[in-house]
């Protein structure tokens, strides 16, 4: 009895156990990035999947309505700023890797100047739409995604003078680029929300 064709639609990744020159029925898998195809000894294509860790938290108990509102605000702010933090981390990684391929300091500085202009043009309008608390949260979430404070990142790429001046500017709005993220201390509740957002629970 022939197998029925299997279609699992996803993104643009696919694999099939096509047997050239054969008229037999075969299965086709359209695979997600976390799915790979394994060809078994008998020629069947088997989808192999890997899953990330899933963290289950106990339900929160709120002492009053004010505490519940504060938590709901934190959820809103994390959902607003976490994508920015992840995008910034990606840009930092790509910039560092690209700079490693450049031939000299002059070429690296030229690239950094272009990147600085791009980031200012691209993100300044977005950052202006953040509230003060969201701006403070974003600085910490950048640390979460990169394991480096924003001050250290600017210092490493653009020098101490710009790190100092950017931190001074941030201070005018009550922020500090030197703020660190502590998922086991003062940012424990923020870490919980981040994980739940990443897991798709919100």
Q: So where are the chain's domains?
A: 13-49, 65-198
Is the pLDDT assigned to residue 105 strictly greater than 80? yes
* Average model confidence (pLDDT) across the chain: 79
pLDDT mean over 53-72: 89
DSSP H or E stretch at residue 113: helix 105-128
Dist CA 24 CA 123 (whole Å): 55
**Segment 152-162 mean pLDDT:** 82
pLDDT bucket at 3, cuts 50 / 70 / 90: very low
Q: Give CA angle at 57 (198, 136), nearest 5°.
A: 50
Q: How many CA atoms lie within 13 A of 33 on its CB side?
A: 1
Q: Is 77 exposed, middle or buried (0-12, 13-18, 19+ CB in 10 A)?
A: buried
Q: Answer yes or no: pTM beyond 0.75.
A: no
């Amino acid at each position: 009895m022939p197998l029925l064709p299997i279609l699992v639609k996803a993104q643009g990744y696919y694999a099939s156990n096509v047997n050239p020159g054969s008229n037999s029925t075969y299965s086709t898998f359209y695979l997600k990035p976390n799915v790979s195809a394994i060809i078994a000894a008998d020629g069947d294509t088997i989808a192999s999947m890997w899953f990330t860790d899933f963290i289950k938290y106990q339900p929160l108990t709120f002492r009053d309505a004010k505490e519940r509102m504060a938590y709901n605000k934190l959820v809103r702010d994390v959902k607003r700023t976490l994508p920015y933090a992840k995008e910034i981390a990606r840009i930092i990684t790509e910039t560092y890797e690209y700079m490693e391929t450049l031939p000299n300091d002059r070429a690296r500085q030229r690239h950094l100047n272009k990147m600085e202009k791009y980031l200012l043009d691209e993100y300044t309008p977005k950052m202006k739409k953040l509230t003060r608390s969201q701006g403070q949260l974003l600085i910490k979430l950048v640390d979460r995604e990169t394991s480096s404070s924003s001050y250290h990142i600017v210092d490493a790429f653009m020098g101490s003078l710009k790190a100092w001046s950017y931190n001074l500017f941030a201070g005018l709005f009550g922020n500090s680029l030197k703020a660190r993220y502590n998922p086991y201390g003062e940012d424990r509740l923020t870490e919980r929300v981040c994980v739940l957002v990443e897991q798709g629970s919100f």
